Amino acid sequence: MMALVVVATAAAAASPLERLERVDAWLADGASPPRHWAVRGPGDVAAASTFLAGKGQKVVNASRLADGGAKVVVKALHKAGAFRFGDRASDIAYLELLYLEFLRGEPGVPELLGGWATATSVVWVVRDAGRAVAAGTGSSRSPAVFAAAYDARARADPLGLAAAWLRCFRSFAERGGFVLTDFKADQFTLDARGDVYLVDGPAPNAGPAAAFARRRVNATDPRALEPGAAPRACPAGDAGRRACGKRTYKWHLKCHVGCDNDAYAAPELVACRAGGTCAPFGAKAHVYDAAAKYWILPRVVALAEDRSAAARLGALLPRMMSEDPRDRPTFSALLEELERGA
C-alpha cells in the first residue's frame, strides 16, 4: 500500500504529457517501464488469475497484486508477438495506455498501476474497477442484461448514478478529447462506491493526447475520426451517410445506416456537409449517447424510485439529444445543473 502511495505521488508530480513520453519511450525505444509505475514486472502480480475475456485484440484476466493486496485486471496483447507499431493489436494497446496515463486520476478512468513487455507480448495492469453494468452490446440482437447492483443503484440513487455517468463521459470525451466508437454496455463498469468507469480504451480524437498519439499511430482504426487528416469525402444521400458512418461501429449509429432499431446516435456521425465531406464529431456526440442509449440515463429514469428525481433527469434528455450539437449542453454544464438542484 505504501508503494502505491509513493507511486501516486510520483505520477502526480509529472504532467500528463510527460507521462505519455515515458510510456512512449518504454514501448518505442526499449526504455525501462515508467518510474512512477508500481507494477513493473510479472513478479509484482500474483501468479493465480481468472480469465475474463479474450475474443478481441486483448486477453483480460482478474488477479491481485503479489503482496495479496488490491484486486487488479491484467490485460495483454491477444496475438503472440513483440509490440510493434502498425500491428493493430499493438496500436490498440498503445492508445489504451495513453488514455489511462493522460487521464490518470480523472473520474471514470481506471487507475493504471503499470506493466511490462516481453518478446511475445505487452502486459498492463489496472486497479479493479468493479463489474460491468451489463452483459451484451445493448442492441436488439444482443440486449443488455443488467447487473443487479446497477439496477439497485438506479432505483436507490438515480441522481448519484446519473452524475457518475456524466463524470465518466466528461473525463474521456470532454477533458481528454477521446471518442468511444466501439460503444457497448459491457465496456462500462460500476464499482461498490457507485462510480462508473470506461474500461476499454477510446480513440484519440482532438487535443494534446490525440496529437501525441498520431506521432506513432496515424490510422489504427479507419472508423475513428482523425482531425488533422484530410476530411472523409462523402457522396450525396444514403451513400454519403454510409460512408461517414464507417468512422464508427454499427451499434453506435442511427438506424438509417443499417443498425438495430433500438440503437440511436448523434446525427453528426453520419452527416455530410455541403462541401461533400463528413461532419466532425466529438464530445457532444457522447452527450447525445448518454441521453439516447436506453441502458444509460433512460434506464436510470425508468427505475428511479424517487419520481421527482426521475423527472429532473428526464427533463435533461431532450436538450442532450438536440439535432445540432451546438444546442446540447456540455457534460460540465449538466453536472453543474444537477448539483444546483441537489
The beta strand positions in 200-250, using DSSP E, are: 203-204
pLDDT of 80 above 70: no
Domain with CATH 3.30.200.20 in the chain: 2-127
pLDDT per residue as tens digits for the range 213-253: 988 886 544 444 444 455 678 887 888 888 888 778 776 77
- Taking only the tens place, the pLDDT of each residue in 129-188 is 999 999 877 667 777 899 999 999 999 999 999 999 999 999 999 999 999 988 888 899
Give the H/E segment covering residue 36. none
Helix (DSSP H) and strand (DSSP E) numbers for the chain: 11, 12
Topology, domain 2-127: Phosphorylase Kinase; domain 1 (3.30.200)
C-alpha span between 239 and 221 (Å, rounded)? 21
* CA atoms in the 13 A half-sphere facing the CB of 184: 20
Distances (CA, A) of 91 to 4, 54, 123, 206, 276: 28, 17, 13, 18, 30
52 forms bridges with which residues in the sheet? none
Question: Which residue intervals of the chain bear CATH 1.10.510?
Answer: 130-342
The pLDDT mean for the chain works out to 86
The predicted model gives 23-44 an average pLDDT of 93
For residue 220, what pLDDT is reported?
Answer: 45
- Cell representation of residue 12: 502526480
State which fold the 130-342 domain adopts. Transferase(Phosphotransferase); domain 1 (1.10.510)
Sequence-distant (≥ 6) Cβ neighbours of residue 126 within 8 angstroms: 72, 73, 75, 100, 110, 111, 112, 113, 199
